Amino acid sequence: MKLPSAGPRRNSLGDISVLYVTVMARAVTHCGQDYRPLFNQFGLDEQLLQAPDARISIPRFMRLGQAAIALTGNRALGLTMGELTRPVDAGLAGLAASAAATAGGALNTLIRYDLLTSYNSRGQPCLSADGQRACFYSISPYNIFNYFVVDSVLAGWVNILRYLTGQHSILERVTIEYPSQGLDETFETWFGCPVEFSATQNSLMLIPGVTQQPSLQAQPALFRKLVAACDGELAQRRAGWGLREKIRDKLAPLLEGEPPRLEDIAAELGIAPWTLQRQLASEGTGFRELMDETRKDLARAYVRETRLAFAEIAWLLGFSGPASFHKAFRRWFGLSPGGYRRDNRPASDLPA
């Protein structure tokens, strides 16, 4: 089975498969609106939506989601997206999850192969050792552009598990990092359990025993074949990651508040600090240079692609304060963050 080429990442902040964009299109249609004029405004035509390996940047997806919420008037559009999410909408990983023997195996498969359909510099989802808690990484600072992302991911996982088990009540508790938006009752009704906002993490806590529930779609032979295909595609996607890429991948989520040390990154990679230092030297670079390069690329993407305040961007990139960030930005690009944002607004942000 020939696997598609992973290709280069197009955005430093991350990208997401158009499979998830088609879920949003269904949600907009479900709300009684035509998604096509809106999607065309964002440069998303039917040909792109039907390309199985196509991706768009995370910031573009977030702006599209906020525009879809404005169009439909549905502030809980993320929940609607979750309700309309099917296993096939998670691509090859979703098909493999469908064939898993149990609900726990399905959830583990979705999270294990998340990179096949999305990459985010802020982190990756994870599952607790006992399989009872599924966590979606933090994407703070939160705003109207990213609330729906958390909602759609958590609700999507739940809907797939409900489909595979045939049971509606599978949750003990849901926690969400961002503050309540006044939709608490809507969320608790949809999830069927208490929902805590302003929590320390985005997570689903399953009712004991749910992970052992047999999947209604279980097919052991097909599961093994699909998992092998997922492993192959994942290996291919990571095949082009040299040491620099691996370090940059670890650096981005650890920058918040203050920059990580070489020792921190070495621990993440499972190698000794002096070994990492020697390997970087052999490639003609150093940890500080790579840190600066990573911050520069992320700074350009945050300033151009988001509407985050510069103080928030400074914190996300590990600067001591806005002044230090402004100084570094001028060194990198020769103008202020404000000037760069003004001159490089994404096309979808410009007046029609």
The CA–CA distances, whole Å, from 255 to 138, 189, 192 equal 13, 37, 36
For 229-252, write each residue's pLDDT tens digit. Answer: 999 998 887 776 778 888 888 888
**Residue pair 294/252 in contact by the 8 Å Cβ criterion:** yes
Q: Which of 252, 316, 297 is nearest to 123 (CA)?
A: 252
Q: Does the pLDDT value for residue 197 go beyond 90?
A: yes
Q: Which residues contact 129 (CB under 8 A, 6 or more apart)?
A: none
For 97-111, write each residue's pLDDT tens digit. Answer: 999 999 999 999 999
What mean pLDDT, rounded, does the chain reach? 90
Task: Specify the pLDDT at position 196.
Answer: 98
Task: Specify the pLDDT at position 55.
Answer: 92
Task: Specify the pLDDT at position 351.
Answer: 37
The CA–CA distances, whole Å, from 42 to 37, 80, 314 equal 9, 21, 28
Q: Which residue has the higher pLDDT, 155 or 247?
A: 155
Tell me the C-alpha distance between 21 and 183, whole Å. Answer: 24
Task: Specify the pLDDT at position 36.
Answer: 96
Q: Does the pLDDT value for residue 350 go beyond 60?
A: no
For 31-58, write each residue's pLDDT tens digit. Answer: 999 999 999 999 999 988 888 789 999 9
Interval 199-218 mean pLDDT: 96
Q: What spatial distance separates the first Cα and last Cα of the chain, rounded to whole Å?
A: 45
Q: Does the pLDDT value for residue 163 go beyond 90?
A: yes
Task: Specify the pLDDT at position 11.
Answer: 66
Q: Does the pLDDT value for residue 8 go beyond 60?
A: no
171: left (phi over 0), alpha (psi -120 to 50) or beta: beta
Q: Which of 102, 82, 111 is nearest to 164 (CA)?
A: 102
Tell me the C-alpha distance between 161 and 159, whole Å. Answer: 5
**Residue pair 137/253 in contact by the 8 Å Cβ criterion:** yes
For 289-343, write each residue's pLDDT tens digit. Answer: 999 999 999 999 899 888 889 999 999 899 988 999 999 999 999 999 999 998 8
For 209-231, write each residue's pLDDT tens digit. Answer: 999 999 999 999 999 999 999 99
Task: Specify the pLDDT at position 263.
Answer: 92
Domains for the chain: give ranges and CATH numbers.
Answer: 14-237 (no CATH), 242-349 (1.10.10.60)
> What stretches of 157-240 adopt beta strand conformation (E)?
171-175, 195-196, 202-206
Tell me the C-alpha distance between 193 and 37, whole Å. Answer: 37
Tell me the C-alpha distance between 295 and 328, whole Å. Answer: 9
Q: Does the pLDDT value for residue 6 go beyond 60?
A: no
Q: Does the pLDDT value for residue 5 go beyond 70?
A: no
Judged by average pLDDT, the poorest of 69-73, 159-163, 169-173, 276-280 is: 276-280
